[in-house]
Structure 1
Amino acid sequence: MAVVEQLLRAEADGTISFGNYELPSKSKLEDFKHGGDLLKVKTFKDITRLEANDMFVYESVPGTAVTHFKETEKGVAFTVEGNADAQITLGMEDNTEYNVLINGSSEGKMTTGLGGKLSISVELSGKPVTVQVEES
């Protein structure tokens, strides 16, 4: 897997890929239409952030490359890669319990608060990691 050179792209399977953790300075792409949403991505070595219709969707510190990001009514799934371990925050539903799986292994259940944000730590070590978050 490699960084997303275009910053944000639609995949043939209906998912999206975004982020470039190799950029030395912040780059952004706005007004990307996908699935009826207007997407915006900001990315570089320190942070990657995705918004849909001006609403928070994804953020990682430091920056990451995300492929095959898919949102459903029950949660999200994606593959993530970076140069270092990352703290990932996802915009989910308020006051909802989610099962978190990293590389197919359960990390347990996590509950969002009033803001709907869910934070997970991912050990990347230069290898792609799959993340799946589904409502319990």
Structure 2
Amino acid sequence: MTAVKELLRANEDGTISFGDYTLPSKTKKEGFEFEGDIYKVKTFSEITKLEKNGMFVYESVPGTAVEGFRAEESGVSFQVSGKEDAQFTLELEADSEYTVYLDDVNAGKMKTNLSGKLSVSAELQPDQTVCVRIIKA
């Protein structure tokens, strides 16, 4: 997968895509409206961060490209790529348990902290995509 050159875009399937880990300096796109919500993305080689209505949604270190991001009551799914291994943090329901799947392999159950944050590490290689599904247990 390549970087999302528009920084943030809506897809025909009702998902969004965001992030460009190839940028040498921090770039942002604000005021992107999608399904009644306002999104903001900041991205470059060192970090990618997505906010919805001013609230934290996703952050990766180093920067990543995310395709097909869908957040629902039951969990989150997306495809992620980057130039090297990354850790991403998601805002989910506080103090809840989730099962994490990376490329359809069960990576185990994880519990969010009191603020609802869940951090996952993924082994990423250039020109390779990892499918992520995080399902509420």
The answer on 1:112 being equivalent to 2:112 is: yes
**Deviation at 1:35?**
1.2
Instruction: Identify the residue that residue 27 of structure 1 maps to in structure 2.
Output: 27
Distance 2:89 2:113 in 1: 13
Instruction: Identify the residue that residue 133 of structure 1 maps to in structure 2.
Output: 134
Distance 1:53 1:70 in 2: 16
**Deviation at 1:125?**
1.4
Distance 1:107 1:28 in 2: 32
Distance 1:55 1:61 in 2: 18
Q: Which runs of 5+ in 2 are unaligned?
A: none
Distance 1:96 1:74 in 2: 11
**Deviation at 1:58?**
0.3
Q: Deviations over 1:65-97 (max 9, x none)?
A: 000000111110000000000010001010000
Instruction: Identify the residue that residue 16 of structure 1 maps to in structure 2.
Output: 16
Instruction: Identify the residue that residue 44 of structure 1 maps to in structure 2.
Output: 44
- Please tell me the root mean square deviation across aligned C-alpha atoms, in Å: 0.5
Q: Which runs of 5+ in 1 are unaligned?
A: none
Distance 1:19 1:135 in 2: 25
Distance 1:75 1:40 in 2: 21
TM-score, structure 2 normalization: 0.98
Distance 1:49 1:119 in 2: 13
Identity rate, percent? 55
> What amino acid sits opposite 2:85 in the alignment?
D
> What amino acid sits opposite 1:39 in the alignment?
Y
**Deviation at 1:46?**
0.1
Runs of 4+ in 1 over 4 A off after TM superposition: none
Distance 1:38 1:74 in 2: 22
TM-score, structure 1 normalization: 0.99
> What amino acid sits opposite 2:18 in the alignment?
F
Q: Residue 23 of structure 2 aligns to a residue in which SS?
A: coil
Aligned length: 136
